[in-house]
Amino acid sequence: MKAKDIMEPVKETLTPETTLKEAVNSMRVARRGDGRVGVKGMIVLDNGKLAGIISIKDILKAIIPSYMTLTELGEFTWDGMLEQMAKKVADRKVEEIMTRNVITVSEDAPLMECADLVVKHGLHRLPVLDRDKKVVGMVYIRDLYQAIVQALFEKGGKR
């Protein structure tokens, strides 16, 4: 199997100029391939070209000031701190916090290559590019897992 066989087509994207508030809303209402609503990361395109990717983790990093460490945050007990800090970054642009060096695969990449990249780089999603280097889909870690399940149980494996 290849990346194109298990990828989910990319239907919704963000731009570098999208605000974090708009990005969070887009991620909240985006439809996944299985019909569920809500995604944990989205592609950022600039004039149709891959500019970056943004995830929940990137958004959380933007909310927590860089001068505060996790140990310092553990000492705070202020109610509403997260909500207050989230409002402060609502108008920041996606381009300020997105991951720019995006690891991608071609649509003809074998699943083993996809799995290798996911494991090596701790990824949850892997953008898939066509021959023209345009984003055509996304391979999610769950898709790779389902391919493993299928290989183990649905194609002659023991149950």
Question: Hey, what domains does the chain have and what are their CATH numbers?
Answer: 3-154 (3.10.580.10)
Q: Is the pTM of this model over 0.85?
A: no
- Displacement of CA 147 from its chain's centroid (Å): 19
* Gyration radius of the chain over CA positions: 18
pLDDT in tens, the chain (159 residues): 999 999 999 989 999 999 999 999 999 998 877 777 888 999 999 999 999 999 999 999 888 865 555 555 555 556 777 788 888 889 999 999 999 999 999 999 999 999 999 999 999 999 999 999 999 999 999 999 999 999 888 755 554
Q: What six digits make up the tokens of 128?
A: 């898939």
What span, in angstroms and rounded, lies between the C-alpha atoms of 70 and 126?
28
